[in-house]
Each structure stands twice: as structure tokens, then as C-alpha cells.
Amino acid sequence: MISFGKPLKIALGLIVIAGLIIVPMNFNRYGLFILSQWAVMTIAAMGLNLTLGYAGQVSLAQGAFVGIGAYAAAIMTTHGWPLPAAIVVAIVLSFAVGWVLGYPALRVQHHYLAFVTLAFSTLAFLVFRNESWLTGGIYGISNIPRPHIFGFATNKPLPFYYVCLGSLAIVSLAVWWLIRSPWGRAFMALRENPLRAQSLGIDTRRYTLMAFAIGSALGGIAGALYAPLTQYIDPVPFNLSLSLDLLMMVIVGGAGFYFGPFLGAMIAVLLPEWLRFTEGYYLMLYAVAVMLLLIWSPTGILGILDRYLAERRTKAASALRAVAKSRLETVQ
């Protein structure tokens, strides 16, 4: 029997990619900003999905790493450094801080770990707000330039949207490879049962720290793109609410599913804009929609699809067993 599943998935993926490239050409400035924000937040949510969804480590600090990346990029690019260099610094800085933040996870888990990361998020916000000599304090940093890529200026919204989309494509491929590598399988073993993972020879200490560090580095990349996207940053966007938003994106999309952050960021960034036709009620409708979704499917949108496919496989297996049993009885 010929399976059309894989060709169909490839065709669907190509259609989505072509749509993301072609359709926004007709969007206005605000529409391009929202789509660029979706791409940036998807990168940050993919980092949290790696830490929480695949490695099972609770974190409420992802918004702080977006802030670290944003300030690193803003400070460097306003002093004449190119954006790629700023992204490298944001990755290294977020990776190092994320590695250190991972040490409490070696001693505490679940809600205790959530409180530790929450405290770090608050500390980062206070640093952004109070260290005016570095971050500009409550006045923030303005006139953040957008880069030139291979000699082409990206000052206008459409070229910079393609910068965000290209960055999302690179990060997506890297995460795709990571979760299918031995590292990804070690992360999932750590999530399912740390004691069993340790008994199988997996260095749980090392992989716990790596899960925090790599997830944080992806948050740093998102921040390094967020700064030139808005061209102005202050501490407010990087408070605890951003970490909670990113957590919601991962849970609503489906924690531990590769495409979960894409759908979660779409719900968090695009759905409120689609509901604006209801005027003053759009945020209320948005909150009710998210609540109903999580009540109906605590495993998120992709959890619904996963259950549907599991039921189909179970029914198909039952049908095959029934046919085999019938043939066996006929032969006897």
C-alpha cells in the first residue's frame, strides 16, 4: 500500500511557507509588525518548549531572557555594532545566565522551581529598570537601527519581516535537528522519569543545565530581533507578564509538540487582532476562548490532534485484528 502521509505533509508545509512569503507582500505596516512579532515570539516559545515541554523543567523566566537579548542588541547596535554580532552576544550571554539558572533545578522541582525562576524574572526586570547607566532605565533605548543584510537595507517593514521569518526558519531547523538527536531523546527521558534516565547512564545533571541554557539562548535570539523590530525598548515589555504569555503559548499550542509554539504564538499574538471587530469585548472573548480550550484539551491544540490520530490508529489495529481472527477461524 502506498502511503500518502509524508508527501501530503511536505506539500502542506510548502504551501504554508509559500503563504508566509507571498501573502504578507500586500499587508500594511501594522499587519507586517504583527506577523514579525509572531515570528519573534515563536522563537522565544520554542526555547521554553525545549525547557518545559521536552525536558520537563518549569520556568517562568523566559521573558527575562528575551529582555537580556533585546538589551544586548539595543546597546550594541546603537553603538555601531552589526546585528549578527549582537545576536551572537545575546546567545552567549543568555546561554551562560540560563546555565547558572539551571542549578536550582538540580535541587528543587515543580512549583518550587517555578518560584525560583519567577524571582529571577523579577530581578532581571529590576536590573533593566534601575541600571540606567546601561539600560537607560525607565526611559529605555530608542533609535535602534535595523540591519543591512548582504548590502540590502531592512529599514522598511517588509524586508525586516523577512529577516524575522528567515531567523525563525533557521531556529526551527536547528530545533528540529536537536529534538531528533540523542540530546533530544535525553531531554525526553529526563522529562518522563529522571531516575530511570539516570539508571540508563544519562547524565541528568548535565542535560538539566543544557535544557535551561539552550532554551534561554533561544529567548536571547528572540530578544535580539525584538529590539530592532520595535526600534525602542524599555523595561515594561519584559516583566513577568511576558514570561506568563510565553508559558501560555507553549501550553495552548501543546507542550512537547514541535509545532506547539507556532500555534500557541498564533493564538496569543494574532487571535486578539482577529477579534478586534468586537471592539471593547475582544480581550474578554480572547480570555474565554483560551479558558474553554484548556478546559476541553489540557494538552493544547496539538493534543486534540494527537488524541484523534491515536484513536484512528487504535481503530485500524482493531480492524486488522478482527480480519486476522476471521481468516484464522475460516482456515480452521
Indicate which CATH number applies to the domain containing 107. Answer: 1.10.3470
CA 290 to chain centre: 18
Residue 88 domain-assigned (yes or no): yes
- Reply yes or no on whether the pLDDT at 323 is more than 90: no
Q: Which residues contact 53 (CB under 8 A, 6 or more apart)?
A: 250, 254, 255, 256, 257, 260
- Reply yes or no on whether the pLDDT at 32 is more than 80: yes
∠ CA(220), CA(209), CA(120), 5° rounding? 55
Residue 192 domain-assigned (yes or no): yes
Count the Cβ atoms, other than its own, within 10 Å of residue 281: 12
Residue 243 domain-assigned (yes or no): yes
Q: Is 273 exposed, middle or buried (0-12, 13-18, 19+ CB in 10 A)?
A: middle
Q: How many folded domains does the chain comprise? A: 1
C-alpha distance from residue 135 to each of 74, 78, 216 (Å): 9, 12, 20
**Rounded Cα distance, 214 and 101, in Å:** 12
- The phi and psi torsions of 8 (rounded to 5 degrees) equal -65, -40
- Reply yes or no on whether the pLDDT at 2 is more than 50: no
Tens of pLDDT along 97-131?
A: 999 988 887 777 777 888 889 899 999 999 999 99
Grid cell 511576558 in the structure block, residue: 242
- Reply yes or no on whether the pLDDT at 38 is more than 90: yes
Residue 215 domain-assigned (yes or no): yes
